[in-house]
Each structure stands twice: as C-alpha cells, then as structure tokens.
Amino acid sequence: MTNAHAVNEHKHQHVVILAFPYGSHAAPLLNLVRRIAADAPEVIFSFFNTKQSNESTFAGLDQEQLLNITPYEVDDGLPENYVPTNPLEGVTYFLNVMPANYKIVMEEVVAKTGRQITCLVTDAFYWFAADMAEELHAKWVPLWTAGPHSVLAHMATDLVREKITTDEVHENKAIDFIPGFTGLKVLDLPEGIAEEKDSPFTTMLHRMGRALPRASAVAINSFHEIDIPTVHELESRLHLLLNVGPFILTMPQSVTPDTHGCLEWLDKQADCSVVYISFGSVIVPPPHELIALAEALEESGHPFIWAFKGNPEKQLPEGFLERTSAKGMVVGWAPQMQILKHPAAGVCIMHGGWNSILDCIVGGVPMISRPFFGDQGLNTATMEHVWEVGVGVENMVFTKEGTLKSLETTMSSEKGKLMREKIAVLKDLAMVAAGPEGDSTKNFCALLDIVTTPQTAEQVRQQRHGFRGLRKRIVGVFAAASAKLHRRHHHHHH
C-alpha cells in the first residue's frame, strides 16, 4: 500500500468520539484518540463531551498537541444555575438528556465539516451508539475503560439473573458459571446485575452488555495475559476484542509534577517499606473510616505518603499530622505512578478503581482495597482471590484493627511476599504486552485501521492473522515513530 493510497483512503474519514463526562472516563478516551489521530493526520476527529468535562480533559493541551482533534460541547442536562452536591447526582440529569444531546451536535458538525461520520468511537456505556452507527452506515468502536471481569459481568447479566435466585443473592453464592470468576461471589458483582435495580445507571449498563456484541471492535484498557479465561470468554462473545492497555504504558500521559518532594523523600526510605494511600479522583471515605485508617497507620509505624483530598487538619485525628510528621507525608496531590515505581513503595491502600489497579500492577506493588461503588468490589475480589496480589479490607470498611491486620499481611507476612512475587509476574506480562512486539501494540495497529480506514473489522481481523510479516514491519515503523515522538515530547517538557 503506497503512501498516496493511504492518504486517499483517509481523506473522507470523519471519526466522532462520544465521551462519558464523569469519573475518570473522558481522559483515557482522549488519550486513546490522541494516539490514533497522531497516526492519521488526514482524518478529522470530533470530540463530544460536556463543557465542564472538556475543560478539565483538555486542560494544558495546546492545538499542536491536539493536531486534528476538535472538542465540541453537548448539553449536560443540568437545570440553570444548578450545582450538584455530589458527582453522581449530575449523572442522572445527564443520562436523561442522552442520546438526543449528542445527536443534535453531531448533525451540526457534519453540516459544518461537510464530512459524513465514518466511525463512532464512544465510551462503552453508550449502548445507543449501536443503533446510531447502523443508521449512519458507520463503524462503532466502544472503549471499555475498566477491566475484563467487569465488562463480562455486565454482558452476563441475563445469565446471572437466570442462574441465581433472590435467596442465593443473600447467601452470597459463588459464581462458578462464568469463566475466570472462580473464587468470586454474587456480592462481588457490580450492583444491579444479580438483582435488578431500576436506576438509569444500572439500566444503561445492562443495555450496554446486550449491545456490545454489535460493535465492530471493543477496545479495552487491559492486556491479554491479565486473565486468559475471562479474555477468551469475551473474545467468543464479541466480534473483535482489542486489549490496548495498560494505558499508562501505551498511551500519551501528562507528567505529574512532584510539587511536594515525594520522590526525594522516598529516596531516603528503605525498600518496600512505604505505605501509599490514594482513593482516586472522586472518592473521600466517610469520616469515621478516615480516623480509623489514620490510627492504624500511626500505630503500625510504617512510613507513608497519603494523597489526601480535603482538609487533613479537620478530617484526621487531632495531632495526627504533628505526631507523624517524621514518618509520613500528607499531600494534596502526588505523582502516583512515579511513587508506585519507586523501590521504597511497599503497599498501596486504595479504592479498587481500575486505573489504580493497573498503576499498582505496572509499579509491582501489592494492594489493600476498600471498594465503594461500580466495578470496585469486583476488581478488589479479583485482585485478592484470582490474582492473589492484595487484600480487600475486612468487611469492606476501614476499622483500626482490620487495617492493621491488612498491613501486617501485605507488609510483613510470607503471604505478602508471595503477593509481591505474583504482582511482579503480572507487571512483566504488562510490559511485554505494551512492548514493540507485544499483543497490545499489535491490537493498537488493528484498532487504528478499523477507526481510520474504510476497511471493515473483518478485513482487519483477517489481515491480522494473515500478514504476520507485514505486521512486524508496521510494528517496527511504529516503534521508531513512537521513539521519535517520545523524544520530541521529552524535549517539550524540559
């Protein structure tokens, strides 16, 4: 395929991206699109999201970094001057105006650019994109930003309800009929799967589980070896599953400044001795749990870095900051990935969010997890019972005793040593997958073709199996280009 031909092939392509504006959904989707757009300069990319989410998602990026990506705003459904008291409250308003809010702006953009939509890249939540794509004669490529177990759980909703009675939900029956779920129980599943809940959110996820088999390909922020039985089951249910993660290794990342000197402080600590605490971008544990966690940290005597959202003086026990100032750091913001990669990092206390789990795997650091909602319980159970690389806190609530026990297990016991060895294996598999010859890299090449050329997913899949040699060449070119990009990126930052 000559270059002129390639350019022609891209000439009329218009990729529309529909982001989900809450939690940590829009940023990974933009990172994926940025990497695709950099390799397809002739294609135009229209990125639809709410005003508020666009502002934070595009913060710090200039047009040079965005190339051929244009952000557009859709209605967030909130009444005039309305301020939600928590992030989840806004979600319901937003779900009520969807998908009409996207359709209106999509029509305007098609008129403005004069280019028909050839591919929809959406957050996987958007089940309605299956119908949209069909009407537009376009491809649909959803991105599932979480892990393989949770998307399979949503796809198996009807099966779970058929197999499990209400009584068995309360008995917390084991789920042994889904591949890769051995050791997991009903209560580990995201809410609304085993027992129907009539909330807009759980309804959306159920519809998503039914719609995903209609997608041209489903991209996922994960890697093949993370859980082979689960991945195989997904592959058998979908047209094409493309593991293109972990994004922390495979996608452009913004560099988090170390404003508080965490890394310098870590240099002075012994290997595997430090407890790192972070609950992601949305969650703050309830007051009594924060106090229990602080008391356990203080009593354990381990050095710690706590990325704390809120006001530590008010929310932590009186005198805690003074008493632990020699041992610990409580900071508003921390360079999470660099901390987890540091030899001094010993364990990460977290919420079981998928991005944080991948960060811990790439850092090779065992976990103590206190899940709050969504896929966090399932992720926690998976890392504890399937991969055996950490523990869920006792009864899923922080108590002083329970937290001390979890710290003892992960930091000082034989079992903790095994966890560290097992997570080192997962880390190596992730590094290989994201490397130049790795599965995630090859999948990205396939994804690029599906999203930016007129080829069908089927043609791309056949090529993937046919032209091994060509793929090696493409991957080589890609690795060289990526190294060049990396050098340029570094040059920008220093």
Q: Which is more confident, 475 or 346?
A: 346
Q: At what angle do helices 439-452 and 457-466 cross, to 10 degrees?
A: 140
Exposed e or buried b per residue across 101-138, where buried means at least 16 C-beta atoms within 10 angstroms of its C-beta: bbeebbeebbeeeebebbbbbbbbbbbbbbebbeebeb
**pLDDT recorded at residue 203:** 93
Q: In this prediction, what percent of the chain has a pLDDT beyond 90?
A: 77
Region 166-186 average pLDDT:
89
**pLDDT recorded at residue 238:** 97
**Active site (annotated) includes residue 5:** no
**Across 78-82, 99-103, 443-447, least confident range:** 78-82
**pLDDT recorded at residue 182:** 87
CA-CA distance, 58 to 49, in Å (whole number)? Answer: 11
**pLDDT recorded at residue 205:** 96
pLDDT at 493 over 50: no
**pLDDT recorded at residue 62:** 80
What is the residue-wise DSSP string for 219-270? EESS-GGG-HHHHHHHHHHSS-EEE---HHHHS--PPPP-TT-HHHHHHTSP
**pLDDT recorded at residue 487:** 55
Confidence of residue 492 (pLDDT cuts 50, 70, 90): very low
Question: Chain-wide mean pLDDT for the chain?
Answer: 91
| Nearest CA among 117, 96, 114, 98 for reference residue 47 | 117
**Which run of H or of E encompasses 363?**
helix 354-363
Residue 469 to residues 6, 472, 474, 480: CA-CA distances in angstroms?
19, 5, 9, 17
pLDDT at 476 over 80: no
Region 357-385 average pLDDT:
97
Q: Which is more confident, 143 or 176?
A: 143
Structure tokens at 489: 């990126």
Confidence (pTM): 0.90
**Peptide bond before 246: cis, by omega within 30 degrees of 0?**
yes
Region 254-272 average pLDDT:
93
CA-CA distance, 56 to 52, in Å (whole number)? Answer: 7
User: How large is the C-alpha radius of gyration of the chain?
Assistant: 23
Residues 392-448 pLDDT 10s: 999 999 999 999 999 999 999 999 999 999 999 999 999 999 999 999 999 999 999
Catalytic residue, candidates 10, 12, 14, 25: 25
pLDDT at 317 over 90: yes
**Active site (annotated) includes residue 232:** no
pLDDT at 103 over 90: yes
pLDDT at 468 over 60: no
Confidence of residue 1 (pLDDT cuts 50, 70, 90): very low
Q: At what angle do helices 354-363 and 414-434 cross, to 10 degrees?
A: 100
pLDDT at 451 over 50: yes
Contact 296, 404 (CB under 8 A): yes
What are the φ and ψ backbone dihedral angles of 155, each rounded to 5 degrees? -70, -25
pLDDT at 12 over 60: yes
Beta-carbon contacts of 170 under 8 Å, excluding residues fewer than 6 positions away, are: none
**Which run of H or of E encompasses 46?**
strand 44-50
What is the residue-wise DSSP string for 123-180? ETT-TTHHHHHHHHT-EEEEEE-S-HHHHHHHHTHHHHHHH--HHHHHTT-B--SSTT
**Across 79-83, 120-124, 212-216, 229-233, least confident range:** 79-83
**pLDDT recorded at residue 65:** 77
Q: In this prediction, what percent of the chain has a pLDDT beyond 70?
A: 92
pLDDT at 209 over 90: yes
**Peptide bond before 99: cis, by omega within 30 degrees of 0?**
yes
Region 171-188 average pLDDT:
91
**pLDDT recorded at residue 169:** 86
Q: How many other CB atoms sit within 10 Å of the CB of residue 18?
A: 25
Q: Which is more confident, 460 or 450?
A: 450
| Nearest CA among 259, 335, 346 for reference residue 301 | 346
pLDDT at 252 over 90: no
pLDDT at 278 over 70: yes
Confidence of residue 167 (pLDDT cuts 50, 70, 90): confident
**pLDDT recorded at residue 359:** 97
Catalytic residue, candidates 123, 227, 359, 439: 123
pLDDT at 87 over 70: no
Region 69-92 average pLDDT:
86
Region 123-140 average pLDDT:
97
Bin 231: left if φ > 0, else alpha if -120 < ψ < 50, else beta: alpha
Region 143-154 average pLDDT:
97
**pLDDT recorded at residue 472:** 53
